[in-house]
A = this chain, B = another copy of it.
Amino acid sequence: MAATIEANDSGDLGAAATSVLSGQAAMQAWQEGLYKDLHRHPELGHHEVRTASVAAEALRGFGFEVHEKIGTTGVVGVLRNGDGPTVLMRADMDALPMAEKTGLDYASTETTTDDSGAGTAVMHACGHDIHVACLLGAAKLFAGAMDAWQGTFVALFQPAEEVATGATAMVDGGVTKLVPKPDVALAQHVLAFPSGRVGVRPGPFLSGADSMRVTVYGRGSHGSMPQLSVDPVVLAAMIVVRLQAVVAREIAPDEFAVLTVGRIAGGSKSNIISDHAVLELNIRSYSEQTRATLLAAIERVVRGECAASGSPQEPEFEIYDHFPLTDNDADATARVDAAFRAHFGGDAFTIDRQSASEDFSEIPRAFGVPYVYWGIGGTDPEVYAAAEAAGTVSTTIPANHSPQFAPVIEPTLRAGTAVVAALAWLAGPSGV
């Protein structure tokens, strides 16, 4: 059977969703234990060996067909249940190299050795442990209510979202060949708004972001003989100055665009003129066209300034940390939004665009399918309300990437699991 769009109007999700969600109460203790275990044992990107193992083992236990080590540590489980839509839900698994300061009794004490061999404290400061626990919870619910729905559910556990390489690694690792092509792909993120609330919006939701390293070349000389040099510090400074005119003059005044030169480095000593300088740029936008305009303008400006300086060597441009634009499909989002409002009532809302970035969309892009990405609240609602009343939300509520970031377990897990279980097939084509 397929849930239908009428759910939106009648104010409930229909018998299917109700049936699937009926198992939620019984699994709460299991899910909370799972979450605390994950939180205690965070792992850095591409090193999520333990987390991946937990996910794979659980999926197998639920009866999923499981594939492991996709890309590096990626896991995907497939649960086939007759004719019907195929829906893919993704959770990211990686943590951050930070020392946890939450004071929780299940706080991380892990110190993992990073790629460079140095010891690094690790923490789930971005809530990916919530994502994993919710997706495993939803997988358990679907597996426990096979009579209530039809189709195929794909649970995907991605490494290394924080460094923007995990989604691409799974694509390069062949995930699109391992699982059936979904009708829609879904993902969610826990954010610093009240737990129990859910927010989505159609169209651009998370900005696309690129980091770009630009190396420009001069000709070195002693500091007392500038006439023998092509001064790369002057060249780099002119580029920084010139780049300000890109956003100011080349982007329409009501179009979102950011072009930040986060780092400039040229020369090593006051009296030596160096032979190169490096700029590191951050580029953000909510449309591919704006991104293209920015990239073209940067290259044009850099090459023009190199020509103006008489630079003896072509500049080099290296894009790294590419986060694609997260641009929710309008139709699928409308269905998700309707289901949110049906299930959560006033706790469902249209969320603002977020300046953060994600690599999730590389996966649906590789499949060629629509996707929806949304936010779930993680902050204690009473704490949030008090902060809001005091006007101190921005200063007292720990946000993602804070060492104090600590989502309340409930109703965060319950809501985050419900949205998956209830929406997974609602989000499919024709009301799936």
Binding site for B on A (CB under 8 A): 207, 209, 211-213, 222-227, 229, 231, 233-234, 236-274, 277, 280-282, 284, 297, 300-301, 303-310, 321, 353, 355-356
Compute how far the CA of A272 lies from the CA of B248 in the bound complex, rounded to whole angstroms. Answer: 16
Q: Is the CB of A280 within 8 A of B261?
A: no
Q: How far is the CB of A219 from chain B (nearest CB, A)?
A: 11
Contacts of A273 in B (CB 8 A): 260, 262
Known: A237-B264, A253-B258, A260-B223. A304 touches B309 (CB 8 A): yes
Q: How far is the CB of A395 from chain B (nearest CB, A)?
A: 13
Compute how far the CA of A274 lies from the CA of B260 in the bound complex, rounded to whole angstroms. Answer: 11
Contact of A284 among B224, B246, B250 (CB under 8 A): B224
Q: How far is the CB of A206 from chain B (nearest CB, A)?
A: 11
Q: Is the CB of B248 within 8 A of A355?
A: no
Q: How far is the CB of A27 from chain B (nearest CB, A)?
A: 38
Q: Is the CB of A282 within 8 A of B277?
A: no
Q: List 10 A-B pairs, minimum CB-CB distance, nearest first.
A: A304-B308, A237-B240, A304-B307, A263-B267, A270-B280, A223-B282, A237-B237, A211-B270, A223-B260, A224-B355
Given A209-B271, A234-B249, A244-B248, 11 more contacts at CB 8 Å?
A207-B224, A224-B282, A226-B253, A227-B251, A262-B267, A262-B274, A263-B268, A264-B265, A265-B265, A269-B280, A270-B321
Copies in the complex: 4
Q: Is the CB of B251 within 8 A of A244?
A: no
Q: How far is the CB of A158 from chain B (nearest CB, A)?
A: 21
Contacts of A212 in B (CB 8 A): 270
Compute how far the CA of A136 lies from the CA of B353 in the bound complex, rounded to whole angstroms. Answer: 46
Contacts of A277 in B (CB 8 A): 264
Q: Is the CB of A238 within 8 A of B242?
A: yes
Contacts of A209 in B (CB 8 A): 224, 271
A247, A248, A257: residue with the most chain B Cβ atoms closer than 10 Å: A248
Q: Is the CB of A308 within 8 A of B242?
A: yes
Q: Is the CB of A248 within 8 A of B250?
A: no
Q: How far is the CB of A60 from chain B (nearest CB, A)?
A: 39
Contacts of A282 in B (CB 8 A): 223-224, 270-271
Contact of A211 among B241, B265, B271, B297 (CB under 8 A): B271
Contact of A281 among B213, B227, B231, B270 (CB under 8 A): B270
Q: How far is the CB of A138 from chain B (nearest CB, A)?
A: 31
Q: How far is the CB of A370 from chain B (nearest CB, A)?
A: 24
Known: A249-B229, A249-B244, A353-B254. A223 touches B269 (CB 8 A): no
Q: How far is the CB of A249 from chain B (nearest CB, A)?
A: 4
Contact of A264 among B233, B252, B303 (CB under 8 A): B233
Contacts of A257 in B (CB 8 A): 253
Known: A223-B282, A236-B237, A248-B226. A266 touches B263 (CB 8 A): yes
Q: Is the CB of B260 within 8 A of A270?
A: yes
Contacts of A261 in B (CB 8 A): 231, 233-234, 237, 267
Q: Is the CB of A226 within 8 A of B274?
A: no
Contacts of A284 in B (CB 8 A): 223-224, 253
CB pairs A–B below 8 angstroms (25 shown): A211-B270, A213-B270, A223-B260, A223-B262, A224-B258, A224-B355, A225-B252, A226-B248, A231-B249, A233-B264, A234-B245, A236-B237, A237-B239, A237-B240, A238-B241, A238-B242, A248-B259, A254-B353, A260-B270, A263-B267, A263-B269, A264-B264, A267-B280, A300-B307, A307-B308
